[in-house]
Amino acid sequence: MNPCISIFLRDWTMTDHRLWAREAIRIIEADFQRSADTHLIPLPMPGFPGVELYFKDESSHPTGSLKHRLARSLFLYALCNGWLRPGAPVIEASSGSTAISEAYFARLLGLPFIAVVPASTSQEKIAQIAFYGGQSHLVKDPTQIYAESERLARESGGHFMDQFTYAERATDWRANNNIAESIFSQMRFERHPEPSWLISSPGTGGTTATLGRYVRYRQYPTRVLCADAERSVFFDSYKSGDRSLQLDCGSRIEGIGRPRVEASFLPDVIDAMVKVPDALSLAAMHYLAGRLGRRVGGSSGTNLIGALIAAQQMHAAGEAGSIVAILCDGGDRYATSYYDQGWLKSQGYQLEGVIEAVTACVEGGKPLPATILREGI
């Protein structure tokens, strides 16, 4: 017998690909090093004495939304997995915000970027994708953005990032610099440093997953409330446990609410869910913009409603404490939709009375109409 070792030389010395990936990671880490954290903004609620509300302002990222964090994580995850190659396009299915942030990182690395977005995506978002050098591929049926992304990746030899699958695992929820760690560190000197509730709304579900895992890992008593949009399957899936639910239409609150239960949506780390009518989300968005003196996106309105439901429950139980909600993006990207009276009218929204109801709740403690389906909070 002549014993013989088999050797398959794939990467004996560092290949060009490996060297390219190393440099790409350095570029992303250097970009991070030059960046600052986002602000935590208090929003007094005279209607709920003893309950203190804060908004984690993710609109102050360089690309204007909470998706800046996710895009960075997805690029690092893909690079460390060896999935990106010089010159090969990066493709993403998105309602717009993730695509803007990914276009930014693709440009940083000199990679072509194609966003597959629903045709209803705001013009402002499509313009921002183009600003960062990305191309937008519009799809009429919002439920087809995944299949279309797979096809484009296959045909172009590119990589489909697939935020809806990878958001929850690309984000390192134990490490520092994730959104949850940042919130707890910024709350350190507040009257109630450990929030009673964290409020987030689901697009991929990744942010909610990070918050839910982190509070468990760090053994905080904090609970996570996930505020869903009207046209979305997440709430019903959370209630029933059925992950096969589907809708044949897209959400009207850009960025949140999905027609299928995304892989990154992790119901077991969510303590309560609410389903917010779109008109209430948009009314709360307008109210919040008035209070902050600048426009915010629709999902921030959804989160304000989630925070009010939590505040109502705390108040009813005589509980004092704090609530932190996510301000997901700024409102300038919705100037020709949510902030355009003509557009609101064309969509059948009459928000005046609803804005009054939100104002009466925040400022006078007047309850919002809500049905508790099970005593979750």
Is residue 329 close enough to count as binding ligand PLP by CB under 6 A?
yes
Give the nearer residue to ligand PLP in terms of CB position, either 167 or 362. 167
Give the nearer residue to ligand PLP in terms of CB position, either 52 or 228. 228
Closest distance to ligand PLP from the beta carbon of 347 (Å) = 18
Give the nearer residue to ligand PLP in terms of CB position, either 207 or 237. 207
Q: Return the range that interacts with ligand PLP (CB under 6 A); candidates 92-100, 109-117, 121-129, 236-244.
A: 92-100
Distance CA 72, CA 348 (A): 38
Residue 370 burial (CB < 10 Å; 0-12/13-18/19+)? middle
Give the nearer residue to ligand PLP in terms of CB position, either 297 or 321. 297
Residues paired with 4 in a beta bridge = none
Site for ligand PLP in 146-205 (CB under 6 A): 167, 201-205
As separate numbers, helices (DSSP H) first and strands (DSSP E) second, the chain gives 13, 10
Q: In what order do the strands lie in the sheet with 135-139?
A: 135-139, 113-118, 90-93, 159-160
Distance CA 203, CA 182 (A): 21
Distance CA 182, CA 172 (A): 13
Give the nearer residue to ligand PLP in terms of CB position, either 208 or 322. 208
Site for ligand PLP in 351-370 (CB under 6 A): none
Give the nearer residue to ligand PLP in terms of CB position, either 210 or 222. 210
Place of tokens 């045909």: 155
Give the nearer residue to ligand PLP in terms of CB position, either 73 or 314. 73
Closest distance to ligand PLP from the beta carbon of 322 (Å) = 21
What 154-157 contacts at long range (C-beta under 8 Å, 24+ apart), as own/partner pairs, is: 156/88, 156/89, 156/91, 156/114, 157/88, 157/89
Dihedral pair phi/psi, residue 42, rounded to 5°: -75, 140
Closest distance to ligand PLP from the beta carbon of 201 (Å) = 5
Measured from the Cβ of residue 111, the count of other Cβ atoms closer than 10 Å reads 23
Strands (E), the chain: 39-42, 51-57, 90-93, 113-118, 135-139, 159-160, 197-200, 223-228, 272-275, 321-327
Place of tokens 């009218």: 345
Give the nearer residue to ligand PLP in terms of CB position, either 275 or 315. 275
Q: Candidates 63, 98, 101, 322: give the one binding ligand PLP (CB under 6 A).
A: 98
198 residue type, one letter: L
Closest distance to ligand PLP from the beta carbon of 256 (Å) = 5
Closest distance to ligand PLP from the beta carbon of 107 (Å) = 19
Q: Candidates 64, 89, 297, 331: give the one binding ligand PLP (CB under 6 A).
A: 297
Tell me which residue has its CB nearest to ligand PLP. 255
Q: How many residues bind ligand PLP (CB under 6 A)?
A: 21
Site for ligand PLP in 31-50 (CB under 6 A): none
What is the signed CA dihedral for 342, 343, 346, 351, rounded to 10 degrees? -80
Site for ligand PLP in 198-257 (CB under 6 A): 201-208, 255-256
The enclosing H or E element of 213 equals helix 206-217
Closest distance to ligand PLP from the beta carbon of 139 (Å) = 16
Give the nearer residue to ligand PLP in terms of CB position, either 170 or 362. 170
C-alpha count within 13 angstroms, C-beta hemisphere, residue 315: 21
Q: Candidates 59, 73, 97, 128: give the one binding ligand PLP (CB under 6 A).
A: 97
Under a CB-based contact definition with an 8 Å cutoff, are residues 53 and 307 in contact? yes
Give the nearer residue to ligand PLP in terms of CB position, either 148 or 254. 254
Q: Candidates 38, 237, 299, 337: give the one binding ligand PLP (CB under 6 A).
A: 299
Is residue 281 close enough to count as binding ligand PLP by CB under 6 A?
no
Closest distance to ligand PLP from the beta carbon of 110 (Å) = 25
Site for ligand PLP in 56-75 (CB under 6 A): 65-67
Diameter over CA atoms, the chain: 89
Distance CA 47, CA 312 (A): 9
Binding site for ligand PLP (CB under 6 A): 65-67, 95, 97-98, 167, 201-208, 255-256, 297, 299, 328-329
